[in-house]
Amino acid sequence: MLDVVQGLAQLLPALILAVTVHEAAHALVAALFGDRQALVSGRVSINPLRHCSLLGTALVPCSVFAITVLTSLPGMLVGWGRAVPIGPQLAQRRLGLLCTALAGPLANLLLAAACLALRPADGQGAWVVFLETSASLNLLLCVVNLLPVQPLDGATCIQALCGERGWRRYQGLQPYLYVVGAGLLFTGLLGQYLLWAARTLLNLLPGGMLHG
């Protein structure tokens, strides 16, 4: 049980920060493209309470992580925030939608880079652990959110790029994509891809080396 508590003490603050920055970036870019809904709903904010949810950012992450650790599986953290509403008044609809969708993953990538830049070269302790945990988590969130399935940002990018007719056709493929994704997850191939993609991004960042 001590391992669970220590693991959550390291992972949950990083998850809350990553979710907050991700959703706030969506809201900010949507507002810059004229979407008043993001402003009115108070989502253009770095207050975690505006973006995190009790279920997705607390109960589910704690439960999944505890189960994996107690069953001697690799510790996992699964979580999400409250989706930013996008109104119909978004200017330059397709470009605005694309930029808004990309803002979240890009914010996670930049936050990972900032964590690596702030990390002392030969430092130790809780601060270094937090920075490295946050960098790893943000890179994984960046990669995961770019997967082309709803409700992830990758699907929204496809929606912006292919237009209404193409999007309707793509939506018809979603059930099959879920089945393929479940199969890849079950075989471990999806996890291997996500780790490879996250490590590739890590190697592209200045100071891109983690000790853990």
Write the pLDDT tens digit of every residue in 118-150: 888 776 788 888 998 899 999 999 999 999 998
Q: Which of 32-41, 82-91, 112-121, 152-161 has the highest mean pLDDT?
A: 152-161
Distances (CA, A) of 165 to 51, 159, 193: 32, 10, 30
Cβ contacts of 8 within 8 Å, gap of 6 or more: 61, 62, 65, 66
Q: Which are the contacts of 139, defined by CB distance < 8 A and separation ≥ 6?
A: 108, 109, 112, 198, 201, 202
Token pair of 50, please?
A: 């505006």
Instruction: Calculate mean pLDDT across residues 69-94.
Output: 73
Phi, psi angle pair for 12, to nearest 5° = -60, -45
Torsion, Cα 152 200 205 31, to 10 degrees, reads -10
C-beta of residue 64 within 8 angstroms of C-beta of residue 121: no
Contacts of 120 (CB under 8 A, 6+ apart): 128
Mean pLDDT of the residues in the chain: 84
Instruction: State residue 29's pLDDT score.
Output: 94
pLDDT of residue 12: 86
pTM of the model as a whole? 0.88
- How far is residue 144 CA from its own chain's centroid? 6
